[in-house]
């Protein structure tokens, strides 16, 4: 059974002091010892926080010894060198990062990252035992033109080119319809699940059925406490990549501790 993965992507938000306050409040709701605890994140859900680069060090120190994993929002495709302003996987690893978001739509749109570059990042992240969260999704115009599956298939196939089954076990996919990110709009749970199911088939075709079944596929795009339960009731939705709603500790706690019907 796939363990849900819920990651908070803070994007370009929170100063160091704000980040420290947030994580301390989050930890106060998540005791260190899982057995017997009622908070779902301790045993049933894997929780990741992806703060800004400048807050990673302090956030990582606070999360040390807790069940919450540290993740980064991006990384460069080289280990070191004359790449002013970039961050390498070596740096992220030393700070205690376990996950890294790669291929977010904002990186694709604003920084013109293509599938070839994203693929290089994924390979380098895996080399240093960082678990990539590969983001895929269609724009509004692509959605309206019924191109969702073609777009997602291309992004997955090219983004994961050259990855083997063992490496794929460390990769999560985040399906984020771009038209739903930060807009307040969201795909209906059933519509989102249809795309997730197709993504799982694409992965099965690329690797094998076992890999497709084991791969965790998150949903992203205006995820909120009020719609999380309905999303998580879908059989192929394995968590969420949360943007704006992850900036409030109270909101994020409600999302992680969603009520899922048995």
- What is the widest separation between alpha-carbon atoms in the chain? 53
Q: Can 104 be counted among the known catalytic residues?
A: yes
The structure tokens listed for 154 are 């291309």
**104, 106, 113, 138: which one is catalytic?**
104
Active-site hit among 113, 155, 176, 196: 176
- DSSP per-residue codes, 204-244: HHHS-HHHHHH--EEE-SS--HHHHHHHHTSTT--EEEESG
Q: How far is CA 120 from CA 92, 159, 214, 248, 256, in A?
A: 16, 8, 23, 33, 31
d(CA 220, CA 48): 14
Please state, in angstroms and rounded to a whole number, the distance separating the CA atoms of residues 255 and 3. 15
Structure-block tokens of residue 227: 């719609």
Catalytically active residues are 104, 176
């Amino acid at each position: 059974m796939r363990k849900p993965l819920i990651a908070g992507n803070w994007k370009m938000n929170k100063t160091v002091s704000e980040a420290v306050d947030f994580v301390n409040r989050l930890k106060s709701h998540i005791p260190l010892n899982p057995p017997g605890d009622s908070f779902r994140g301790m045993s049933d859900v894997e929780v990741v926080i992806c703060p800004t680069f400048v807050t990673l060090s302090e956030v990582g120190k606070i999360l040390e010894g807790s069940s919450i994993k540290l993740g980064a929002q991006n990384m460069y495709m080289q280990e070191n060198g004359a790449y002013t302003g970039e961050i390498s996987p070596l740096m992220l690893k030393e700070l205690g990062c376990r996950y890294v978001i790669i291929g977010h739509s904002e990186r694709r749109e604003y920084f013109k990252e293509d599938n070839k570059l994203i693929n290089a990042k994924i390979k380098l992240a895996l080399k240093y035992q960082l678990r990539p969260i590969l983001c895929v999704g269609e724009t509004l115009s692509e959605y309206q033109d019924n191109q969702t599956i073609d777009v997602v298939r291309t992004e997955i196939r090219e983004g994961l080119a050259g990855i083997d089954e063992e490496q794929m076990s460390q990769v999560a996919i985040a399906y984020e319809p771009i038209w739903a990110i930060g807009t307040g709009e969201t795909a209906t749970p059933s519509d989102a699940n249809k795309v997730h199911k197709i993504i799982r088939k694409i992965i099965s075709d690329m690797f094998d059925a076992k890999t497709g079944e084991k791969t965790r596929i998150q949903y992203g795009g205006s995820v909120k406490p009020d719609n999380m339960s309905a999303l998580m009731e879908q059989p192929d939705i394995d968590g969420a990549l949360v943007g704006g709603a992850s900036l409030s500790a109270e909101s994020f706690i409600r999302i992680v501790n969603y009520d899922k019907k048995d």
